[in-house]
Amino acid sequence: MGNRPSRKHRQEAPRDVGTLWTLERFAGRARCALLAWPDSWELRVIVAGATLLSEHCARTEGAFSLAERWKERMLRDGWRQVGTTRLSGSGYNSFNGCR
């Protein structure tokens, strides 16, 4: 039988699609991770392995809009953008709204 997770358990974990942006301040680095759930998206701002912000969005447009608002707020707080990030278009679906 082993310790293999059940199919239901595996489906409950989101899939990390990629990083929307990366910011730095002092020695810290923050990334905005886009995670795919079966019926929604989740955004997480992760710094040093800890999730500082997290929110689910039902629509792709809502997730990208929220990520941009978070980035703008962090830039105003003294963070600076590191490079440019591009995600591939595969796996993106439209859902309905940000919760």
Three-state DSSP at 74 gives helix
Residue 58 belongs to some domain of the structure: yes
The mean pLDDT of the chain is 83
More confident residue, 11 or 82: 82
The verdict on residue 42 lying in a domain is yes
Q: What is the pLDDT of residue 12?
A: 81
Question: In this structure, what are the phi and psi dihedrals at residue 73, rounded to the nearest 5 degrees?
Answer: -65, -45
- pLDDT score, position 9: 45
Structural domain containing residue 23: 13-81
- pLDDT at position 87: 58
Task: Report residue 33: phi and psi, to 5°.
Answer: -90, 135
| Overall domain count for the chain | 1
Query: 32-68, pLDDT tens digit by residue?
Result: 999 999 999 999 999 999 999 999 999 999 999 999 9
Q: What is the CATH number of the domain that holds 55?
A: 3.30.67
77 within some domain: yes
